[in-house]
Amino acid sequence: MSVVKTHLIHQEYRDSVQLMRAAASVTKEVEGIQIASVLMGTPKNKPLLDEVGLLTPEASSADANDIVISIRADTLAIADEAIDFIINFLSQTVQASHDSTLLYRSIRGALEGLPDANLAVISVPGEYAARDSHIALMTGLNVLLFSDNVSLSDEIRLKKEAHEKGLLLMGPDCGTAMIKNIGLGFCNIVNPGPIGIIAASGTGTQEVMTLCHHLNLGVTHAIGTGSRDVKDSVGGITMIDGLHALERDSSIELIILVSKPPEAKTMDKIVKEIKNSSKPVIIIFLGKEHGYCDIEDKSLTVNTLEEAAYAAANFFTSKKLERSIIRFEDEASIKEILYDSNQQIKPSQKYIRGLFAGGTFTFESAQIIRDLLLENEVLNTNVHLEGTVIIEDENTSKGHTLIDMGADEFTQGKPHPMIDQTERTQRFLREIKDPETAVILLDFVLGYGSHPDPISDMEDAFMQWKKIDQKIPIIAHVCGTQLDPQDYNKSIERLTDHGVIVMPTNAQAARLAALIALREELNYIH
């Protein structure tokens, strides 16, 4: 038995991150909630409510400027308590904003109050994002377009407009950027320094910048392009404009490009720009083997995100680009882990199960595991990578399975796993009960925008993992730095205390998982 109740907050906009946090928080704090949804009442959001049975007549009547709170709970009293909690949560967020920032009703109004501003962050429903981005560009502002659901035609038009005005348009769906060491969106706190990153990948950017930080390097700029920028229909406009911007910045000595492989015509354009650059460029186009566009000594192509960071460290030591491929930082410990795993897991435990918050971490892991699996092994995933198979049912693992749980099919009307790991925790509990699971891969992403304590979300699940009869190694990677608010070192310590194997990079975590599943010795990858 359950009840559904809806409450509208009229004519008040909040971005999706705030609304997802409200939904995630109420689910944890109020018992008896079956589903909690907090969305703007846009035409694209209403079908999401309908899919989960929360599109009440009141929700249907909402307009795009209304916040829709819709709750399914065990009782009406619980639903009322949940709505009161969310209203209070959102009001506290507004108060915090009033305490720390100036609030304006429009972009032009903000410019009047902040005449020296040169960047606007646009985070509104997709159908309104193009309009607001155009206004920002017309007033001479660079734009970080956080919003998704922006049409391809609008993206092309806006990027051409930005290019003609000598401005940058980062996005759409650009979740991570850093300008002059100030993080935007989901971003880590890292040392400033002479590295500039241009990326069509959010968590890919975060991995490279945090690994550079751990190698005592510094990053000053990270320009996000949005994933569609490297398609031929867009032509790499932001990536190329970003190269020009970093070329002009005298503080930048080394540029790192991060993306899935650009389409053919766009690849040619980018290579041409790299040839004309006076600065060295490290290129990581995940899913494509290195060597595809090395240009004398001016560029270096690598296969993984960790290789990009280590190559950067080598450059600042030798002042020339050299490959630095590290397999494992602590081979003695890896040999011990492999020995113990081979002794403990049963012959029936055959398969890797990866449950990721970061899409790029899923993709990089799939690339590495694909290459290490035996020829007759199949890797199922929900990311598109040559040599892998798109899984038929993303909710049910089959054989070796790596899942990006931040993909649209998991986040429609629900918080992203970087904000709330409820969906991933439930999937984890299913995987540890599967007698064919040999090893589980996890990622934890720290930094601004992410869950304030992501380890806590899974601690109850780890306790249940310890109680099951079969031994299943859990391998995790924490993307973050000691400067992040979540306490990087403490996060690793807590995972280790639970018995989780924590690896220093996503690539090393994926390699170790493959070796455990294959019952291979360390020398297999040398």
DSSP string, 402-449: EEETTSHHHHTTS--TTT--HHHHHHHHHHHT-TTEEEEEEEEE-SBT
CB 508, CB 327: distance < 8 Å: yes
Measure the CA–CA gap between 480 and 91, rounded to whole angstroms: 30
- On whether both 8 and 133 belong to a single domain, the answer is no
Look at residues 300, 326, 352 and tell me which one is the last residue of a structural domain. 326
* CATH number (domain holding residue 401): 3.40.50.261
- Quote helix, strand, coil % in the chain, to nearest 5: 40, 20, 40
Look at residues 326, 350, 370 and tell me which one is the last residue of a structural domain. 326
- On whether both 421 and 370 belong to a single domain, the answer is yes
Residue 514 in 3-state DSSP? helix
Average pLDDT over residues 325-354: 92
- On whether both 163 and 182 belong to a single domain, the answer is no
Q: Identify the residue with better confidence: 298 or 263.
A: 263
CB 479, CB 444: distance < 8 Å: yes
Confidence of residue 99 (pLDDT cuts 50, 70, 90): very low
- On whether both 338 and 314 belong to a single domain, the answer is no
- On whether both 353 and 437 belong to a single domain, the answer is yes
- On whether both 18 and 47 belong to a single domain, the answer is yes
Confidence of residue 297 (pLDDT cuts 50, 70, 90): low
Side-chain-side CA neighbours of 336 within 13 Å: the count stands at 5
pLDDT number for residue 94: 54
pLDDT number for residue 96: 47
Q: How many domains does the chain have?
A: 4
Checking if the pLDDT of 516 tops 90, the result is: yes
- On whether both 143 and 204 belong to a single domain, the answer is no
Highest mean pLDDT among 44-53, 191-200, 260-269: 191-200
- On whether both 199 and 275 belong to a single domain, the answer is yes
Tokens describing residue 210: 């945090």
Q: Note down the domain range covering 162.
A: 104-168
DSSP string, 296-327: TTTEEEESSHHHHHHHHHHHHHHSS------S
- On whether both 485 and 345 belong to a single domain, the answer is yes
Fill in the amino acid letter for 289: E
Fill in the amino acid letter for 263: E
CB 479, CB 203: distance < 8 Å: yes
Average pLDDT over residues 390-400: 94
Checking if the pLDDT of 352 tops 80, the result is: yes
- On whether both 268 and 352 belong to a single domain, the answer is no
End-to-end CA distance of the chain: 59
Q: Mind listing the pLDDT tens digit for each residue in 146-202? A: 988 899 999 999 999 999 999 999 999 999 999 999 999 999 999 999 999 999 999
Identify the burial level of 478 via C-beta atoms within 10 angstroms of its C-beta, where 0-12 means exposed, 13-18 middle and 19 or more buried.
Answer: buried
Confidence of residue 413 (pLDDT cuts 50, 70, 90): low
- On whether both 438 and 405 belong to a single domain, the answer is yes
Q: Mind listing the pLDDT tens digit for each residue in 432-460? A: 999 999 999 999 999 998 988 999 989 99
Look at residues 326, 357, 381 and tell me which one is the last residue of a structural domain. 326
Measure the CA–CA gap between 40 and 22, rounded to whole angstroms: 13
* CATH number (domain holding residue 140): 3.40.50.720
pLDDT number for residue 419: 86
- On whether both 126 and 204 belong to a single domain, the answer is no
